[in-house]
């Protein structure tokens, strides 16, 4: 059987495509929100409820899907997740009321979270520590690329036929993705197409992997006793609402607060282009530090410190007089947040043993969605009664606070000589 050189990068390429579809499918509703709300007679509070139903399901799925990935393996579990959410996205086209729309987006959330517990498990199986930040950056780039493409693609599909067509076409694309995935993915030791050179490359990280296993995180209840777990949960819970805001509410802010029409909302692609840059740049930079013999966990935290200094610039958006400045500040905040997120995700792979990685990653990511639910409810109330301004003001402190929790809580064990 013919061998495939650098097979790990072909695999991460497929996960990149899955992440593109993941974000196109979730962004479709926020992009078409004005039309869907008008067609179904929904208020802003109704819209916030639908988004929160998605996030509630997303939270449940994070808790369950990680365990499922550790039990079933990456290949089968990711196929199940993507098949599920693709069908749920297609069903959204048949929504006729708040109730049916809420049910279909809830089902979408149950499937979509699995992408983000299976992907880091695949990275831990196929990449050594020095490449994991970049690999996570590549598949996360798929998310931001999907968010970048979504405004143009979704509006084009809706203009071509109607808003329902956007959900049917993008859902069907996910079902087609299953074909190459099921053909290509196996664990390295079981793969008939992996080269001996690549297996040797992966084995070069064996010492680091044994060191991580010494932590003996355990299973079940033992996981919940780990201090590191709760520090990582807090890091995601505090900071991910910034990303959820830009996904679900920023287009509506431009529509309602800055007077853009729905067609002009395609300008939001620049925000997600910045996220693309942050995803790749953040992973590459921490990986460069690892190659220069900086401990992996410390390299992630150093990059995150820089990011925590940049995200607060989003608080200047309400004071910006021009659309160009609003977009520029949004781009800086999103770029910094995505670099933060990549390194926080890589930090999980650094401190958690592989056998429990997907389970722990799911629990950590559940903190992300809990923060998103609180944010959505708060923004829904603020928009209905006041304005969007406080949503931006609150971005001043969340990343610095989260960094201090991770550092001073000692999410990893630095030596006395370690300094930022």
Q: Tell whether the model's pLDDT for residue 91 goes beyond 70.
A: yes
Across the range 340-347, mean pLDDT stands at 91
Q: Are 268 and 151 in contact (CB under 8 A)?
A: yes
Neighbours of 317 (CB within 10 A): 24
**Tokens for 239?**
């900071």
In a domain, 221, yes or no: yes
Separation of alpha carbons 14 and 83, rounded Å? 15
pLDDT band at residue 288 using 50, 70 and 90 as cut-offs: confident
Structure-token match 């007089």, residue found: 321
User: What is the predicted pLDDT for the residue at 77?
Assistant: 95
pLDDT band at residue 146 using 50, 70 and 90 as cut-offs: confident
> Which residues, 6+ apart, have CB-to-CB distance to 91 below 8 Å?
104, 107, 167, 171
In a domain, 74, yes or no: yes
pTM of the model: 0.76
Separation of alpha carbons 348 and 300, rounded Å? 10
Lowest mean pLDDT across 14-23, 92-101, 407-416: 407-416
pLDDT band at residue 220 using 50, 70 and 90 as cut-offs: low
Q: Higher pLDDT residue, 222 or 314?
A: 314
User: What is the predicted pLDDT for the residue at 263?
Assistant: 75
- Which residues form the domain of 205? 7-408
For residue 303, what is the domain's CATH number? 1.20.1250.20
Q: Tell whether the model's pLDDT for residue 104 goes beyond 90.
A: yes
Mean pLDDT estimate for the chain? 86
In a domain, 196, yes or no: yes
Which of 188, 168, 331 lies closest to 246 in space, CA to CA?
A: 331
Q: Tell whether the model's pLDDT for residue 267 goes beyond 70.
A: yes
In a domain, 224, yes or no: yes
Q: Give the whole-number percent of the chain exceeding pLDDT 70.
A: 93
In a domain, 419, yes or no: no
pLDDT band at residue 260 using 50, 70 and 90 as cut-offs: confident
User: What is the predicted pLDDT for the residue at 417?
Assistant: 41
Which of 31, 29, 22 lies closest to 84 in space, CA to CA?
A: 22
| pLDDT tens-digit series, residues 358-375 | 888 888 888 887 887 788
pLDDT band at residue 385 using 50, 70 and 90 as cut-offs: low
In a domain, 2, yes or no: no
SS3 185: coil
pLDDT band at residue 205 using 50, 70 and 90 as cut-offs: low
* Residue 410 CA to its chain's centroid (Å): 24
What is the DSSP track for 28-60?
Answer: HHHHTHHHHHHHHT--HHHHHHHHHHHHHHHHH
Separation of alpha carbons 225 and 267, rounded Å? 46
Structure-token match 């990280």, residue found: 205
Lowest mean pLDDT across 32-46, 150-164, 210-224, 267-281: 210-224
In a domain, 362, yes or no: yes
Q: Are 365 and 271 in contact (CB under 8 A)?
A: no
Domains of the chain: total: 1
Across the range 198-207, mean pLDDT stands at 73
In a domain, 413, yes or no: no
Q: Tell whether the model's pLDDT for residue 83 goes beyond 90.
A: yes
């Amino acid at each position: 059987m013919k061998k495939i050189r650098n097979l790990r990068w072909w695999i991460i390429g497929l996960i990149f495509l899955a992440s593109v579809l993941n974000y196109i499918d979730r962004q479709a509703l926020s992009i078409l929100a004005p039309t869907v709300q008008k067609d179904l007679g929904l208020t802003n509070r109704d819209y916030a409820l639908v988004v929160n139903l998605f996030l509630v399901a997303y939270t449940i799925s994070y808790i369950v899907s990680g365990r499922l990935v550790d039990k079933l393996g990456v290949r089968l579990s990711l196929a199940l997740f993507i098949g599920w959410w693709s069908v749920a996205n297609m069903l959204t086209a048949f929504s006729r009321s708040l109730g049916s729309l809420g049910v279909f987006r809830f089902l979408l959330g149950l499937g979509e979270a699995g992408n983000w517990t299976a992907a880091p498990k695949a990275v831990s199986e196929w990449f050594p520590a020095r490449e994991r930040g970049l690999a996570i950056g590549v598949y996360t780039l798929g998310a931001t690329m999907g968010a970048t493409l979504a405004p143009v693609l979704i509006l084009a599909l809706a203009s071509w036929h109607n808003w329902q067509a956007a959900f049917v076409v993008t859902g069907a694309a996910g079902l087609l993705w299953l074909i190459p995935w099921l053909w290509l993915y196996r664990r390295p030791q079981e793969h008939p197409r992996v080269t001996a050179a690549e297996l040797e490359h992966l084995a070069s990280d064996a010492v680091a992997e044994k060191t991580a296993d010494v932590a003996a995180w355990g299973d079940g209840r033992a996981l919940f006793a780990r201090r590191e777990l709760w520090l990582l949960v807090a890091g995601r819970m505090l900071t991910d609402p910034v990303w959820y805001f830009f996904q679900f509410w920023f287009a509506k802010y431009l529509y309602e607060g800055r007077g853009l029409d729905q067609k002009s909302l395609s300008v939001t692609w620049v925000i997600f282009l910045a996220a693309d840059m942050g995803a790749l740049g953040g992973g590459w930079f921490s990986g460069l530090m690892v190659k220069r013999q900086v401990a992996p966990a410390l390299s992630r935290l150093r990059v995150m410190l820089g990011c925590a200094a940049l995200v607060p610039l989003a608080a200047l958006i309400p004071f910006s007089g021009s659309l160009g400045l609003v977009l520029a500040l949004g781009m800086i905040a999103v770029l910094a947040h995505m670099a933060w997120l990549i390194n926080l995700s890589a930090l999980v792979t650094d401190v958690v043993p592989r056998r429990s990685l997907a389970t722990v990653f799911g629990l950590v990511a559940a903190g992300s969605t809990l923060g998103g639910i609180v944010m959505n409810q708060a923004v829904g109330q603020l928009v209905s009664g006041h304005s969007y301004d406080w949503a931006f003001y609150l971005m001043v402190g969340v990343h610095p606070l989260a960094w201090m929790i991770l550092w001073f809580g000692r999410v990893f064990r630095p030596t006395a000589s370690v300094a930022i």
